[in-house]
Amino acid sequence: MRNMVTQRNGIHRFFLQLGNKWAIIFLILGAILFSIISPGFLSFNGIQVILINSPFILFLSLAETFVIITGGIDLSVGFVMGFASVVSAKLIALFVGMGMNDLFSIIVGIVITLVIGIIPGFVNGVLVARLKVPPFIATFSMLGITYGISELLIKGVVAKNLPVLAGEIGNGSLIYIVPGKTVSFFIKPLIQRGGQLIEILPTVFVIPFIFILISAFILKRTKFGQHTYAIGGNVDAAIRAGIDVKNHLIKIYMLSSFFATVAGIMYVLRYITGKADAGTGFLLDGIVAVVIGGASLYGGIGSVWKTIIGCFIILVLENGLRMLGFPTFYKYILVGIVLIFAVLVDKLFPELIHKEE
């Protein structure tokens, strides 16, 4: 009898473990499935394609991770990304037009954009923390305002006339290998036409990867991260514990805007244009990735690494379906189903939440 009980517990625990890790299991199963069906999927280039497409969703979901852990939501990130892409493209084109050095104008343009890009987040934070506007409404208002301003800046077309160097940075790779000859970092070696060149790790993935490491560290190991979880878990308790909740929330929304701004700058470097609606398609994917990663919209739960797994589930589905020749339409359906499934798993195994530390 006792044996049976322990056995049942064992099975239960096994399912608990399974439920806890379902996202990564799902990701691996998906990757295996796609690599069996379409041979190119698991190839060197297949993986790099996923990495090249990853930065925008990675940045926007990083932004959402912080906000959602505090129990809020940021609907503006997609359009702050567009705003940043427009502002940086305009600035860089302006500086180049003034006769500055290409590299210098790119750097100055990016730095100024990073500063400007924090403003929407600051306003969001003040609205949410000081004026008690619900995050949904505050950030939706900011969505409208940033979208309007960026369309006005470019007058409804796209921002162009960027130096070629911008595209070279955005479409470059970390390591270049010419087999048997040279290895170089960041700088593309000159090769003969038809010559073999192996490009490893696109730069557009290296940058988000660094930010992922930093945010994972902040969220997990610093006081700032602890306070973020505390606010999401219980605001009243956080206030009683002496956390300056208002300032912290303002910082969180600024951080969210900052990540969105970096995404916008990456967009400019990658496509050499600034578009007001650059981030439209990634906004909801960002939120979805966070939720698939097991975060709760009520706050207090979530982690950077799980969000990243959520991102890659979406990316693998998208890329796999594309390689199989399905139109993107099916991706929307599958992502919707995975999203609902993710929450259902959490509901069916309520113990999971308590298992996390």
For residues 272 and 239, what is the distance between their CA atoms, to the nearest angstrom?
Answer: 46
Residues contacting another protein: total by CB under 8 A:
48
Site string for another protein, 303-342 (x = CB under 8 A): ------------------------xxxxxxxxxxx-xx--
Q: How far is the CB of 136 from another protein (least distance, A)?
A: 6
Task: Kindly state whether residue 30 participates in binding another protein, applying the rule CB under 8 A.
Answer: no
Which residue in 60, 118, 129, 143 binds another protein (CB under 8 A)?
A: 143
C-alpha of 153 from chain center: 25
Which residue in 263, 287, 301, 313 binds another protein (CB under 8 A)?
A: 287
Q: Give the sheet arrangement for strand 198-202, strand by strand.
A: 182-185, 173-178, 198-202
Q: How far is the CB of 353 from another protein (least distance, A)?
A: 13
Q: Which stretch binds another protein (CB under 8 A): 11-19, 134-142, 163-171, 238-246?
A: 134-142
According to DSSP, the β-strands at 198-202 and 182-185 are unpaired
Which residue in 51, 62, 75, 254 binds another protein (CB under 8 A)?
A: 75
Q: What's the 3-state SS for 113-179?
A: HHHHHHHHHHHHHHHHHHCCCCHHHHHHHHHHHHHHHHHHHHCCCCECCCCHHHHHHHCCEEEEEEC
Q: How far is the CB of 183 from another protein (least distance, A)?
A: 42
Q: How far is the CB of 156 from another protein (least distance, A)?
A: 7
Which residue in 297, 305, 322, 323 binds another protein (CB under 8 A)?
A: 297
For residues 287 and 293, what is the distance between their CA atoms, to the nearest angstrom?
Answer: 10
Which residue in 47, 102, 141, 246 binds another protein (CB under 8 A)?
A: 141
Nearest residue to 121 (alpha-carbon basis) of 303, 259, 228:
259
Q: Count CA atoms closer than 13 A to 329's CA, side-chain side.
A: 2
Span 148-177, contacts to another protein by CB under 8 A: 148-149, 151-152, 155-156
Which residue in 147, 229, 258, 271 binds another protein (CB under 8 A)?
A: 147
Residue carrying structure tokens 């610093």: 222
Whether 248 contacts 227, CB under 8 Å: yes
Nearest residue to 61 (alpha-carbon basis) of 50, 77, 47:
77
292, two tokens: 């698939």
Task: Kindly state whether residue 142 participates in binding another protein, applying the rule CB under 8 A.
Answer: yes
Task: Kindly state whether residue 194 participates in binding another protein, applying the rule CB under 8 A.
Answer: no
Query: What count of residues does the chain have?
Result: 357
Which residue in 15, 44, 136, 217 binds another protein (CB under 8 A)?
A: 136
Helix, strand, coil shares of the chain as percentages rounded to 5?
70, 5, 25
Which residue in 281, 351, 355, 356 binds another protein (CB under 8 A)?
A: 281
Site string for another protein, 214-233 (x = CB under 8 A): --------------------
C-alpha of 69 from chain center: 15
The residue ranges that bind another protein (CB under 8 A) are: 73, 75, 127, 131-134, 136-138, 140-145, 147-149, 151-152, 155-156, 277, 280-281, 284, 287-288, 291, 297-298, 327-337, 339-340, 343-344, 347
